[in-house]
């Protein structure tokens, strides 16, 4: 009987395909506009910040096998009220998935003029197709995602390979301009790069239940995918800042550089296989991974039990149909939830900050699962330093969520969370969520973790 667990290629494809999205084409040029050639170093910092800002994902994944994505990790670490709020923040984040489909159509229309740039029908068609593919399971979806991601990476590597010969290396280095932007601009560029590559820890965690040895495979994928994204993104920034003068690239779409590098026919192929597939792989990863927190929250009672219903093949049809309809709302009614989602980012990272604080106590609180983790070879003082770096990254993310925002925006952020918190407390009060059940589930996770001891 064939294994239904994901292979390394499929796991890496879901992760890299999910991370490399529109941010690479839109946010990187903004980073170049802020930092010039210094965007190369901003990208390196961005990848490191993205990893350490979600450090709790990495630590928990190395110790405990959890089925509900990083919502389950948060539920393991934090009190029910906090984890409940965090879970609903994830549900709010799902409101932005439609943007991948509409942007993919927009990019396609830029090179194939017969395609309407704002076609609702095509956007709905893409979303419907991907939700339909998800019916056949994460394993089958992994094969589809692998094919798209391999093509995507091929397009990006072609951009690098054809762009490097067009760079005058001696002139590029001798002209300098790597650190002329000032600290504030460099910090802003780091933010752009960070959001362009955020997600290398989130996807493996969400797919843990689809892995044979999750406490080994998930954290290793986080490291491996972060390194791959780092190399590819840094090379792309190097080409983008070296092929054309900075002023021609700054704050422009990356396709400006691609148009200079490629012949017309190859340029069209690059947009379709690069920009469009970057968006589609991100969409499909989102469609695949969002189901796990929803199913876990339904199992624990945060949302009605009807969301636990599954088809004969295990596909959670109620959860997926609900997610599908939510994804269509912005397209059908021409509305955007981006502002609502952005309101949650501040509290999101405040919660994560305290999750990392809680992680510092894990080796002493759970000594046996810690011994099963490959991190146990790390001396405890070094582990504390490791966690401290994560706290600094979280603090940076909190600052980034506040910087440039009005006082009213910050108040609105906490008001949004207050509404969520009221609902969470109500679910606990009516005992829809059982504290005893949560404790028993936590104990089962600890026992399962010990079964992975080598």
Give residue-wise pLDDT tens across range 90-107.
Answer: 888 878 888 889 889 988
Q: How confident is the model at residue 286 (pLDDT cuts 50, 70, 90)?
A: very high
Read off the pLDDT of each residue in 272-277 and give the average, rounded to a whole number.
94
Token couple for 202:
């989130």
**pLDDT at res. 158:** 96
Q: Is 450 helix (H, G, I), strand (E, B) or coil?
A: helix
Q: How many CB atoms lie within 10 A of CB 26?
A: 17
Residue pair 395/360 in contact by the 8 Å Cβ criterion: no
Token couple for 337:
């939830």
Read off the pLDDT of each residue in 250-270 and give the average, rounded to a whole number.
89
**pLDDT at res. 81:** 95
Q: How many CB atoms lie within 10 A of CB 212?
A: 11
pLDDT, tens digit, 9 for 90 and up, residues 120-135: 999 999 999 999 999 9
Burial class (CB in 10 A: 0-12, 13-18, 19+), 260: middle
pLDDT above 90 (res 189): no
The residue with greater pLDDT, 419 or 255, is 419
Residue pair 6/210 in contact by the 8 Å Cβ criterion: yes
Sign of CA dihedral 238, 244, 249, 255: negative
The pTM assigned to this predicted structure is 0.92
- Mean residue pLDDT across the chain: 89
pLDDT above 90 (res 256): no
Sign of CA dihedral 13, 18, 19, 22: positive
């Amino acid at each position: 009987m064939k294994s239904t667990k994901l292979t390394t290629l499929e796991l890496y494809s879901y992760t890299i395909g999910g991370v490399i999205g529109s941010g690479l084409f839109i946010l990187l040029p903004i980073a170049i506009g802020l930092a010039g050639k210094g965007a190369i170093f901003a990208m390196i910092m961005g990848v490191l910040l993205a990893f350490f800002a979600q450090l709790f994902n990495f630590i928990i994944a190395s110790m405990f096998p959890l089925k509900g994505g990083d919502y389950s990790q948060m539920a393991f670490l934090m009190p029910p009220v906090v984890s409940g709020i965090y879970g609903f923040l994830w549900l709010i984040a799902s409101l932005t998935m439609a943007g991948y489909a509409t942007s993919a159509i927009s990019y396609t229309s830029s090179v194939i003029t017969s395609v309407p740039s704002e076609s609702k029908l095509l956007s709905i068609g893409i979303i419907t197709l991907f939700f339909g593919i998800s019916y056949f399971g994460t394993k089958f979806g992994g094969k589809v995602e692998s094919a798209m991601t391999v093509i995507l990476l091929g397009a990006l590597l072609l951009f690098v390979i054809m762009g490097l010969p067009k760079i005058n290396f001696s002139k590029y280095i001798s002209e300098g301009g790597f650190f002329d932007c000032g600290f504030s601009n460099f910090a802003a560029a780091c933010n752009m790069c960070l959001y362009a590559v955020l997600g290398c820890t989130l996807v493996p965690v969400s797919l843990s239940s689809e892995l044979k040895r999750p406490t080994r495979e998930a954290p290793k994928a986080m490291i491996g995918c972060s390194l791959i994204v780092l190399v590819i993104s840094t090379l792309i920034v190097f080409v983008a800042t070296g092929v054309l003068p900075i002023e021609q690239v700054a704050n422009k779409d990356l396709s400006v550089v691609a148009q200079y590098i490629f012949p017309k026919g190859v340029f069209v192929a690059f947009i379709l296989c690069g920009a469009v597939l970057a968006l589609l792989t991100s969409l499909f990863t989102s469609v695949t991974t969002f189901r796990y927190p929803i199913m876990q929250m339904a199992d624990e009672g945060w949302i009605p039990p009807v969301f636990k219903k599954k088809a004969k093949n295990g596909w959670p049809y109620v959860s997926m149909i609900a997610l599908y309809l939510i994804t269509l709302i912005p397209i059908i009614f021409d509305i955007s939830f981006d502002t609502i989602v952005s309101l949650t980012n501040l509290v999101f990272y405040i919660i994560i900050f305290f999750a990392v604080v809680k992680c510092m106590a894990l080796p002493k609180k759970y000594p046996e699962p810690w011994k099963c983790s490959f991190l146990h070879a790390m001396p405890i003082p070094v582990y504390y330093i490791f966690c401290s770096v994560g706290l600094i990254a979280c603090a940076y993310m909190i600052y980034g969520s506040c910087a440039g925002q009005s006082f009213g925006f910050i108040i609105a952020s906490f008001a949004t969370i207050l509404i969520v918190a009221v609902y969470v407390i109500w679910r606990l009060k009516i005992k829809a969520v059982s504290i005893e059940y949560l404790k028993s589930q936590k104990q089962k996770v600890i026992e399962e973790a010990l079964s992975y001891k080598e």
